Amino acid sequence: FCFLLLASSFVNYIAGNWLRDADSPGRKRWILIGCIAINLIVLGFFKYYGFFVESLAELLFQIGWQRDLLFLDVILPVGISFFTFQLVAYAIDRYRGEIAEPIGFTKLLFFISFFPQLVAGPIVRFHQVADGLRNLSRFKLDAEAVSEASIYLVAGLALKVLIADSINHFSAPLVVAPENLGIVGLGALVYGYTFQIYFDFYGYSLCAIGLGRLFGIRLPDNFLRPYSTLNPREFWRCWHVSLSNFIRDYIYIPLGGNERYIRNIFIVFVTCGLWHGAGFSFIIWGVFHFALVGGYKLV
C-alpha cells in the first residue's frame, strides 16, 4: 500500500496549495470539505467496509442476495488511521492559515511517512515538527542526540519487552477460557490487560520519540502518567495525548466545545471508538467512556 500513502499525500499536497491560493472563503471551504471527504472515504473503505457489510449481510441474505457478492478481500493498510488523521490535520491547518510557509511535496511526504510514528503514532501536527524538517538537511548526529535517543529507546524497549510482554505471557492463557477463572482470576486478567496495553503502547511511543531524535525530529509525548489521574476527564488528557488533542482541536471545539458539552463528548467518544476499530464492541467502548466522562461532569 505504498502507492496509497503516496497518492493520499499527493492529493492533500495539491489541496493544501489550493487552500493557500484560494481567493474567497467559500472556495476555501469547499476545497477543505472535498479534501477531508476524500481522506475519510479512503479510510472508511479500508477500515469499515467489512463492518458495515457484515452488519447488513444477514438482512440482505434473507431477501435473496448471495452472501459472497457482498464481500471483497479488503486488507487494512498499516498505519492508515494515523496517517489519515495527520493528513486531515494538515489540510485543516492550511485552511486556518496555521501553516503559511510554502511546503514542497517531498517535505510533506516525509512528514506523513516518517517511519517511527507512521504505524502507531504519536499523531503529529506539522507545526510540531516544522523546525526539524526545516533543518533536516543541516542536521548532524551528535553525542547529545544519541544520548537522548538511547534513553528513550532503552526505556521504551524495557516497558514493552520486560513488562508488557511478560504480562501477556501470564494473561494470554487466561483469555482462552475466562468463564472458568472466577472473581480473582477475572480481576487479575482485567488489571493485567490494563497495564499490558499501557506499557505496550507507552513503550512504543517512547521508542518512536527516541528514533525521531536520531533525525533531529522532536515527536510529542503521548502519555503523561494517565493511571495516576484522579478522574475520567484528567485520564483522557494524559492517555494517548496526541489523539486526545486531535479530537479536541478538530472535532470537539468546532462542534461548540463546552457550550453543548454532553452532546459533543458523546460524538467525540463514539468517533474515538470507531477510530480504534470497526465493530459494535468499539462503539460500546466509546459509549462507556462517554458515560464515565459525562457522569463525572454531571456530578
Q: What residues are labeled active site?
A: 276
Calpha distance 202→286 (Å, rounded): 21
Place of cell 476555501: 28
